[in-house]
Structure 1
Amino acid sequence: MQDYSATAAPSSSRPRSRSITLFAALLAFVLGAALVAWAASRGYLSSVLTAPEPQETATTLAEPADEAAVEDEAPAKTPPETTAAQMAAISSVEGRLALLEDRISRLDFQTDAASGNAARAEGLLIAFAARRMIDRGEPLSYVADQLKLRFMNAQPRAVETIIAFSQNPVTIDELSARLEALSPELTGTGSESKKSLWERAGTELSSLFVIRRDAAALVSPSARIDRAKVMLTARRMTNAIAEVERLPGAQQAQTWITDARRYEDTQHALDLLETTAMLEPSRLKDAEGHKVDQPSPLATPVPTATPDAAAAPDE
């Protein structure tokens, strides 16, 4: 009895395990069907079933790259509006450059004119300094070098005359003093000291009763001496020399006449240098030895002759 019951127990447990397995499979099928239905309702099932092929995906990925390349090449082709704007900007820049060049050229011209006027003013001051030293009877020293540098090319003879006179100067005061000392010899009164007492007394007595005209008084030696002194004070050397040369003893004043003429020539040379500093068009030089090409503002422009005016004399 005991053996029979032991063998019967395992046979009864087998149908139960089969039923559990069947139930689990059925439950899994139901859950899978429900999951498929839910995916179909959400649209997930169609996207999974219609997946793109590899070639189509590569083409799709390549299209954005081509669009990017097209976008990069697009700026290279300038639209017409942009070209017109650039041309307008270029023309405005060229106009500004032209204005700047014109302004720079005018500034250069003004600078050259200012430098030329400054060189002329410096030359005029050098001539004034030379005149002052000549009047004082002083040596020119450094002024002589400036005269050679600035005026030697334009007025060589005048410069040489001034420098030679400065080596042996004569002043107006010295000429006046020498004329005063020469007065007795020039008027002829110096020979009276050699006469005897009787001769001098006779001369004095005879001169008491002499009737003279005004014209004769003006041409007397003493009057000429007085006029020569006045002319020296007024620096009218030509008239002073002329009065001395008309005196009876003019032969005694040859050295004085030579010095007076040297002084007169030097004054004329200084006048010439001053005129050159103001009006010389091309041969004047500056402190560095360069030519002053700028025209003087004091120079009067030469009127240009018209063809009709030029042909008039021929007719």
Structure 2
Amino acid sequence: MQDFSTPVASSTGRSRSRSITVFIALMAFVLGAAVVGWASSRGYLSGVLPEPVVEETDVATLADTVVEPAQQAEEAGKPAPKATAAQMAALGSVEGRLALLEDRLSRIDFQTDAASGNAARAEGLLIAFAARRMIDRGEPLSYVADQLRLRFMNAQPRAVETIIAFSKNPVTIDELSARLEALSPELTVTESTQSLWDRATAEFSALFVVRRDSAALVSPSARIDRARVMLTARRIGNAIKEVERLPGAEAADTWIADAHRYEDVQRALDLLETTAMLEPSRLKDAEGHKVDQPSPLATPTQAVPPSVAGKPKG
């Protein structure tokens, strides 16, 4: 009989050794993968592996790569080589970005100048309002006078001098009304108390005047009442005309002069307020610098309004 036990035992030993080898290789692979992952998470691989080289170019480098060969060719008397498409594209993109930056900076500068000019105009308008309030109250201008000289003297010197001179001897609406009331008996003098020359002059002038108003409307008391109403409405010119038509207007010469002064200072204040809003070049800010920024209220075809341009500026 034949013995088959030896071949079976040898084949079984081989299969076991092969399984052990595959297992060991698999474990080694898993262990190596784990080690690599751990080293990568810790950052140890960055010091071992070579880093990729990144080429950086700037405007100067790109310009040199294009300009220097051209200069060298010109010096050698040869035609300049043409720049590559990549170099021209890179230069175009950089120049485009620089142009955008310059445009943005110019817009920011313009907006800053506009804000500064508008702020200076607003401050000048507030100074003019403060001067009007003090004039109406009969108060001295004090520090406001210095601001008027600083901001408006170059644009409206005559108006500034008128306001400052009036503030040294102020007159208010209430004072004019009280003085008119006190002068009423003298202003309503009858013809019997007038001199011969005054009566003759009045009769001679009456020959050439067509009276369409009733006697009640042209009476001295009615004229004084209308003058009071005109003063309350701040229509100083009309009030002066009513007083000048009274029989005893000579007694109100001082009152008429003060009323004219009040009317002139009100016009000067109106002129400063208009100047603060519309003056294109001669207005100044708090530091004495010219306000070159045009007013947002001014139209492109009208730099100075007629109300400003028609006034004398000294």
TM-score by length of 1: 0.62
Return the alpha-carbon distance in structure 2 between the equivalents of residues 249 and 280 of structure 1.
45
Aligned to 1:246: 245
Aligned to 1:256: 255
Aligned to 1:96: 97
Aligned to 2:137: 136
1:268 is displaced (CA, Å) by 0.2
Tell me if 1:302 matches 2:301.
yes
For residue 217 of structure 1, give the secondary structure of its aligned residue in structure 2.
coil
Q: Deviation string for 1:174-209 (max 9, x for gaps)?
A: 0000000000110117x99xxxxxxxxxxxxxxxxx
Return the alpha-carbon distance in structure 2 between the equivalents of residues 236 and 95 of structure 1.
63
Tell me if 1:266 matches 2:271.
no
For residue 146 of structure 1, give the secondary structure of its aligned residue in structure 2.
helix
1:214 is displaced (CA, Å) by 6.8
Aligned to 1:148: 149
For residue 216 of structure 1, give the secondary structure of its aligned residue in structure 2.
coil
Aligned to 2:228: 229
For residue 216 of structure 2, give the secondary structure of its aligned residue in structure 1.
helix
For residue 218 of structure 1, give the secondary structure of its aligned residue in structure 2.
coil
Return the alpha-carbon distance in structure 2 between the equivalents of residues 222 and 287 of structure 1.
51
Percent of aligned pairs with the same amino acid: 89
Q: Deviation string for 1:236-273 (max 9, x for gaps)?
A: 00000000000011000000000000000000000000
1:294 is displaced (CA, Å) by 1.0
Report the AA paired with residue 228 of structure 2.
K
Q: What does 1:137-216 correspond to in 2, within 5 Å? A: 137-188=138-189, 215-216=214-215
1:86 is displaced (CA, Å) by 4.2
For residue 240 of structure 2, give the secondary structure of its aligned residue in structure 1.
helix
Return the alpha-carbon distance in structure 2 between the equivalents of residues 97 and 275 of structure 1.
42
Aligned to 1:124: 125
Return the alpha-carbon distance in structure 2 between the equivalents of residues 247 and 90 of structure 1.
88
Aligned residues: 203
Aligned to 2:111: 110
Report the AA paired with residue 104 of structure 2.
R
Runs of 5+ consecutive residues of structure 1 not aligned to the other structure: 1-77, 193-212, 304-315
Return the alpha-carbon distance in structure 2 between the equivalents of residues 154 and 214 of structure 1.
46
Q: Deviation string for 1:49-83 (max 9, x for gaps)?
A: xxxxxxxxxxxxxxxxxxxxxxxxxxxxx9xxx95
Return the alpha-carbon distance in structure 1 between the equivalents of residues 139 and 94 of structure 2.
63
For residue 100 of structure 2, give the secondary structure of its aligned residue in structure 1.
helix
TM-score by length of 2: 0.62
Report the AA paired with residue 243 of structure 2.
V
1:301 is displaced (CA, Å) by 1.4
Report the AA paired with residue 181 of structure 2.
E
Tell me if 1:217 matches 2:202.
no
For residue 215 of structure 1, give the secondary structure of its aligned residue in structure 2.
coil
Task: Say what the alpha-carbon RMSD is for the aligned residues.
Answer: 2.1
Larger helix share, 1 or 2: 1
Q: Deviation string for 1:88-134 (max 9, x for gaps)?
A: 23321111110000010011111111111111111111000000000
Q: Which has the larger radius of gyration?
A: 1
Return the alpha-carbon distance in structure 1 between the equivalents of residues 85 and 158 of structure 2.
70
Runs of 5+ consecutive residues of structure 2 not aligned to the other structure: 1-64, 66-82, 194-211, 303-314
Return the alpha-carbon distance in structure 1 between the equivalents of residues 213 and 99 of structure 2.
81
1:84 is displaced (CA, Å) by 4.1
Return the alpha-carbon distance in structure 1 between the equivalents of residues 226 and 232 of structure 2.
10
Report the AA paired with residue 256 of structure 1.
W
Return the alpha-carbon distance in structure 2 between the equivalents of residues 239 and 220 of structure 1.
16
Aligned to 1:74: none
1:300 is displaced (CA, Å) by 1.4
Return the alpha-carbon distance in structure 2 between the equivalents of residues 95 and 300 of structure 1.
35
Return the alpha-carbon distance in structure 1 between the equivalents of residues 115 and 213 of structure 2.
60
1:161 is displaced (CA, Å) by 0.2
Return the alpha-carbon distance in structure 2 between the equivalents of residues 214 and 119 of structure 1.
52
Return the alpha-carbon distance in structure 2 between the equivalents of residues 298 and 179 of structure 1.
41
